[in-house]
Amino acid sequence: MSQTKPLSTSMRHDCSCSKQRVLEAMTLWGIKDIEEMINEACGENATCQMCGRSYEITLDELKLILDHLKKYQKC
C-alpha cells in the first residue's frame, strides 16, 4: 500500500532532491557512459526526474562516480 505517487502534474517546489541524490542516481549508469562523458571532457547536467531541477556535474564528480562504479561493477 505504498502507492503514493501523485498523479497531479503540478510542479512541487518541496522536492527533497539534492546534488548528492542526483549523483547517486548516476551511479546506476554504465561505466562506459560515464567514461564517455569524461573523455568528451565536458561536464554533464543531470536533471531530477521528480521536479526537473538541473544540476551541473563536474568532471571531478564524474570521476568519483566512475570510481564508485568500478568498485561495484566488474566489466
Q: Which residue is nearest to Zn ion (CB)?
A: 17
* Least gap, CB of 55 to Zn ion (angstroms): 9
Q: Which is nearer to Zn ion, 12 or 32 (CB)?
A: 12
48 vs 59, which CB is nearer to Zn ion? Answer: 48
Element (H, E) at 26: helix 19-26
Q: Closer to Zn ion at the Cβ: 15 or 64?
A: 15
Residues that bind Zn ion (CB under 5 A): 15, 17, 48, 50-51, 53
State the Rg of the chain over Cα. Answer: 15
CB of 54 to Zn ion, least distance (A): 10
The residue type of 51 is C
